[in-house]
Every structure is written in C-alpha cells, then in structure tokens.
Structure 1
Amino acid sequence: MSYLESLKVFVRVVELGSITAGGRDMRLSPAAASTRIRDLENRFGARLLNRTTRTLTPTEIGQVLYDNARKVLAALDEAEAAVASHSGTPLGAMRVSAPLGAGRRLIAPLVPRFVAENPEVQVRLRLSDRVVNIVEDAIDLAFYLGQPEDSTLIRRKIADCPRVLVASPEYLAQHGTPDAPEDLKRHNCLLLRFPRSPEYYWVLQTPEGPRKLAVAGGFDSDDGEVLTDWALAGTGIANRPRYEVAAALRDGRLVEILPDTPPVAVEFGVLTPHRDLQDPKLRLFMDFAVRELKFAMG
C-alpha cells in the first residue's frame, strides 16, 4: 500500500509541477511528499524529478514512470468502480471542485452529510474562483457558476443563480445611489479579476434585454468573498450572488442597488469528465447535491 500511495503522490506532483502542491492535494506535508518521492527513487535507483528554483519536471525515467503509473492508477479506479457497482456499496475517493463562495456556503455543508450516509467514500473538496481544468486537475465533479466553455464535458444544470448589486448604507450616503445603469460608471465598482476572468464588465437585465456595461474601480480581487467584505466595509459596489449577501441585505448592512435592472442570473450546475457515471459514488453524490441544492439558490 505504501508503494501505491507513493505512486499516487508522484503522479500528482508531476501533474501539479510542485512537491508542495502535489503533497497538499494528497493531504501530505511537503516533507512527507518528498519522502514518498525519495522512496520511489531509492526503489528504482534513479532520479525521477529535475528540480530548479522555479520548475519541477520529470526526468526521462520519471516520465516513463509517470505515463505507466497513470495507466495503473486509472485501471485501479475502474476496478474499484466496477466492484462498487456490483456490490452496490460506493467506496473510494473522489475530487470535487467548486467556486469559493458557493463551495463554502452550499457544497461544504453537504459533504459530511453525504459521507455519513456513505462512510466508505472520501470527498476531497477543492475551492477556487479560478477556472479549473477538470481533466488536467483530475477532478471528478466540478460545480460551476456561469456558462462552461468545454462542450466535451457532461453538464447538469442545478438552478439559475440570481445576482444582485449591493453597497453599504455608508457608501451610498457618501457617494449617492445610482438611479440607472449608466450611473455605475461614476462609482467604485468592486471587480472579480484574475487571468481569464469573465468579469471585466457586468451584464444587467434591462427592459430591452441583457446589456453589457463596462465598469471600473480601484479594488479588485480573485476571491469573490473579499468583494463582499469590501462592500460591507463601505468601499464600493459589488455584483454578488444573492445567496451570498442575503443575510446582509436582511439586516441592512447592505442595500440592493438598481433592483429593476439586476445583473443577469448565472447558471449553477455540475460538470464531469466521465462519459458514463457508472461509478456509484459519483452518481450518488451528484444526485444528492442536485436534490439538496435545487431550491437553495434563491
């Protein structure tokens, strides 16, 4: 088992290009991950990785091991899924990703309940507002907000996620309340920004249909919840999912802006690279999540 686990660590280290990242993905410290790699190098009597201060790549022998180890691990996953399918008992680990806000508020609370019903399953939840490549990152199920671009993935819509423009009463008292979409151009808009970010503009629903509106501001972040915190602190106007700011709207810490021309709702759903969901744990978790979240997006 130790050899198999070392192979799993080695594969993730190569895929993520970092011993630290690969170890973290396998729930190991950098020191423990390095020990796993060293055990493999001792076993094969050869260096498996080329390390510099900035890069980590497999050696020629390391590449051979990586290519074959991936096949072995994939075959084991298929065997495990086949056995589970016949036995009717879901088992094994699955990697699940989700955007930060939705992951914390909507997905994370589901995990303990699902595992309590399926104790042989381990859920490894990865949260990020960045666009993930679920094939390269070896993700089994990826929850998303928006419109996925990869048409090769299996896509299942859960619900439309309403969005809302919000600011604090203090900000509005100081800067005024926008009366029309054009007024947003004169305000400090809080932006979600990172490479390949879709939010360099906001899309508002008007009587004439969806309208793209270029907005700008002095604050941006790659973490959506930071934008909510900034809005609460009175720094500007944020475009957030309604479920994320519902409590702050109810108690008056935030105020909804332009309710007659709100941001266009975005799709919330789940993606899988699997052409057939024969693995019981994936099918069960997807069905469980869809059922539990169907009415949680309002």
Structure 2
Amino acid sequence: MEALNDVAVFVQVVECGSFTAAAERLGLSRSVVSKYITRREGRLGARLLNRTTRRLSLTETGHLFFQRSQRALLEIEEAEAEVSRLQEAPRGKLRINSPMSFGILHIAPALPEFLARYPDLSVEMNLDDRQVNLVEEGFDLAIRIAELPESSLIARRLAPCRHAVCATPAYFKSHGTPRKPQDLRRHNAITFRYQQTPDEWHFVSGQGEVTRVQIDGSLQMNNSLALREALLREAGLTLIPTFIVGDDLRAGRLQAVLTEYRTLELSIYAVYPHRRFLSPKVRAFIDFLAEKISDPPDWERAGSGCHEAMQ
C-alpha cells in the first residue's frame, strides 16, 4: 500500500506541475508530498524529477515511470468502478434515438419488456432518420444503420441489415420477373432517398462479379414504411431492408427476386458517446438489444422468406 501511495502522489505531482499544487489537491503538506517522491526515487534508485526553484521536469526515467504509473492507476480506478457498477441497478431516464422505421417495428415493441425488467428506469425515445449529434442533443444512445466511419463514438454491432429486391406477386405477373440485374431497367423502381446511391443499385454474383444498374422510377420516398405501403399497392419494385418486409415475404404478400445475388449490406449498431465508464442504464439497454436482435435476426431466420433470399 505504501508503494501504491508513492506512485499515486508522483502522478499527481506530474499532472499538477508542482509539489504545491499536488499537495493542495491531495490535502497534504508540501513537505509530505516531497517525502513521498524522495522515498519512491530511493526505492527505484533513480531520479524521477529535476527540481529547480521555478519548475519541475521529468527525467527520461521519470517520463517512462509516469506513463506506466498513470496507466496502472487508471486500470485500478476502472476496476473499482466496474465492481461498483455490478452493485448498481439501472435507474433514471434513458434517452434513445432511432431511425423511424426500425424504431417503430423493432425498438418500440420491445420497450415494455425492458421497462418491466428495470422498473427504476424510464425511456424517452426519439424517432428521426437524420443522424443526430448524441452529445449536443443529450442522447444516451442511438441506433444507427450504416457502415460507420471513424468517429469518437463507441459502437456495438447488433445485427446485419441486408436488403432484397421485392414487389408483389401480382406486379411480377403483370410486368415480368427480373432474371438478372440488368432486367431492372425495364421496371418502375421505388427509390429510398437516404440510400447512398438511390438511383444505382449494386449486385454481386456468386463468383464475385459486381454489376451496377442505373434504375429509374416515378416514386422516391424518405421512409421505408411508406415505401412498403407503395410496394403492397403494386406501385413498382424496390430495394428494401429485410427488417421491413420479413413478415410480408413469409406471408407471400411480397416476393424477393435476384436472390442469387448479394446486394446492399449495412449493419445495425448501438452507438453511444465516448465515455470513460459506461453507465448501467446504457449497458443494460445495449445488452437487452443484443439479446433481442441476434445474428441472424428474427426477420431473417429460416422460414421468414428473407433468410432464403439472402443466401
């Protein structure tokens, strides 16, 4: 314990930049702080600090010892916090942001079970297809469907987000069933505004050959649930996330085509701000989502129609 105290005082002296400032932070006298440093240097047999009347500076040995000591103290602090977290029950308000369609279909129905499991929690869920700034807008966590770029956010992947080319059986009966990606040029395509390339769909064959198809259509939308409604009313065909149409494929209301090709694949993530310690309420919700949304997710499991479409 004495050695650990010496190390902790040394780190405080370096971080504060002086014996006096470190003494004030630690609630000790300057002479006691100096005693700790002298004892540590004596045990190491090496000078850690160059002292002048005006300033302190680290020796080469001191710089190495500071880096290792600071890291070790952080590990101890995090270990203590981890133990404390195990004793804490999630409580308070959890603010969540989710894309609108995914939130309506897959987050909102699960919230009653989550709140029953954690009665000291309340949830505020915001549905918004724009990418919010979690820190500035005060969200604890967001669901993102994307391939995430490098950022200061921490992300946990929950499941794949695959897409399928779909229409009603009646539409295909009237307009023909596409057999290869190029056939899509002859069809009315309903496009989703927020896709990276809404007017160009990409397909990968089993041999790895990539086909890019310029598609055309009379209808573009910014919401997947509205797009599904247009599909069911035989307005055309579209490239749509399987989490939207899993039940429709299972029931035969929609039919997936070009299933031998791979097409747009994203991932569903839970993201949260970079914080040193993850709060119990955020950890509990992420673990709950991971339990509910596995890989493969429910909407793609065998018998749903999506599973077969994505093989």
TM-score (norm: length of structure 2): 0.63
Matched letter for residue 203 of structure 1: H
Provide the C-alpha distance between the structure 1 equivalents of 2:144 and 2:235, rounded to a whole number of angstroms: 28
Partner of 1:198: 196
1:296/1:132 Cα in 2 relative to 1: closer, same or farther (>3 Å)? farther
Partner of 1:296: 298
Report deviation, 1:150: 4.7
Q: Spell out the pairing of 1:211-230 with structure 2 (5 A cutoff).
A: 211-230=211-230
Whether the aligned pair in 2 keeps the contact of 1:134 and 1:142 (CA below 8 Å) is yes
Structure 1 unaligned blocks of 5 or more: 1-80
Provide the C-alpha distance between the structure 1 equivalents of 2:155 and 2:184, rounded to a whole number of angstroms: 34
1:221/1:117 Cα in 2 relative to 1: closer, same or farther (>3 Å)? same
1:117/1:162 Cα in 2 relative to 1: closer, same or farther (>3 Å)? same
Report deviation, 1:251: 2.2
1:182/1:132 Cα in 2 relative to 1: closer, same or farther (>3 Å)? farther
Secondary structure class of the residue paired with 2:144: strand
Give the structure with higher Rg (CA): 2
Provide the C-alpha distance between the structure 2 equivalents of 1:221 and 1:93, rounded to a whole number of angstroms: 33
Provide the C-alpha distance between the structure 1 equivalents of 2:154 and 2:202, rounded to a whole number of angstroms: 26
Partner of 1:279: 279
1:150/1:96 Cα in 2 relative to 1: closer, same or farther (>3 Å)? farther
Report deviation, 1:233: 0.5
Q: Spell out the pairing of 1:30-41 with structure 2 (5 A cutoff).
A: none
Structure 1 residues 89-136: Cα deviation after superposition (integer angstroms, max 9, x where no partner) = 221112111222221221112211111111121111112233333233
1:134/1:212 Cα in 2 relative to 1: closer, same or farther (>3 Å)? farther
Whether the aligned pair in 2 keeps the contact of 1:160 and 1:297 (CA below 8 Å) is no
Provide the C-alpha distance between the structure 1 equivalents of 2:168 and 2:86, rounded to a whole number of angstroms: 56
Provide the C-alpha distance between the structure 2 equivalents of 1:153 and 1:212, rounded to a whole number of angstroms: 32
Higher deviation after alignment, 216-225 or 247-256: 247-256
TM-score (norm: length of structure 1): 0.66
Does 2:124 align with 1:124? yes
Higher deviation after alignment, 260-269 or 103-112: 260-269
Q: Spell out the pairing of 1:106-255 with structure 2 (5 A cutoff).
A: 106-194=106-194, 197-200=195-198, 201-207=200-206, 208-255=208-255
Provide the C-alpha distance between the structure 2 equivalents of 1:209 and 1:133, rounded to a whole number of angstroms: 38
Report deviation, 1:210: 4.7
Structure 1 residues 169-211: Cα deviation after superposition (integer angstroms, max 9, x where no partner) = 22212221111111112211111115xx524232323232454
Provide the C-alpha distance between the structure 1 equivalents of 2:168 and 2:202, rounded to a whole number of angstroms: 21
Report deviation, 1:160: 1.4
Provide the C-alpha distance between the structure 1 equivalents of 2:110 and 2:277, rounded to a whole number of angstroms: 20
Higher deviation after alignment, 280-289 or 238-247: 238-247
Partner of 2:256: 256
Report deviation, 1:214: 2.9
Matched letter for residue 102 of structure 1: F
Structure 2 unaligned blocks of 5 or more: 1-80, 301-311
Report deviation, 1:142: 1.0
Provide the C-alpha distance between the structure 2 equivalents of 1:212 and 1:99, rounded to a whole number of angstroms: 27
Provide the C-alpha distance between the structure 1 equivalents of 2:140 and 2:176, rounded to a whole number of angstroms: 46
The two structures, once aligned, show a CA RMSD in angstroms of 2.4
Whether the aligned pair in 1 keeps the contact of 2:247 and 2:299 (CA below 8 Å) is no
Provide the C-alpha distance between the structure 2 equivalents of 1:218 and 1:229, rounded to a whole number of angstroms: 15
Secondary structure class of the residue paired with 1:231: helix
1:242/1:169 Cα in 2 relative to 1: closer, same or farther (>3 Å)? same
Whether the aligned pair in 2 keeps the contact of 1:243 and 1:297 (CA below 8 Å) is yes
Matched letter for residue 234 of structure 1: E
1:216/1:255 Cα in 2 relative to 1: closer, same or farther (>3 Å)? same
1:176/1:274 Cα in 2 relative to 1: closer, same or farther (>3 Å)? same
Secondary structure class of the residue paired with 1:109: helix
Higher deviation after alignment, 201-210 or 238-247: 201-210
Whether the aligned pair in 2 keeps the contact of 1:205 and 1:264 (CA below 8 Å) is no
Partner of 2:64: none
Secondary structure class of the residue paired with 2:106: helix
Q: Spell out the pairing of 1:60-139 with structure 2 (5 A cutoff).
A: 85=85, 88-139=88-139
Aligned length: 215
1:215/1:252 Cα in 2 relative to 1: closer, same or farther (>3 Å)? same
Structure 1 residues 8-52: Cα deviation after superposition (integer angstroms, max 9, x where no partner) = xxxxxxxxxxxxxxxxxxxxxxxxxxxxxxxxxxxxxxxxxxxxx
Higher deviation after alignment, 175-184 or 246-255: 246-255
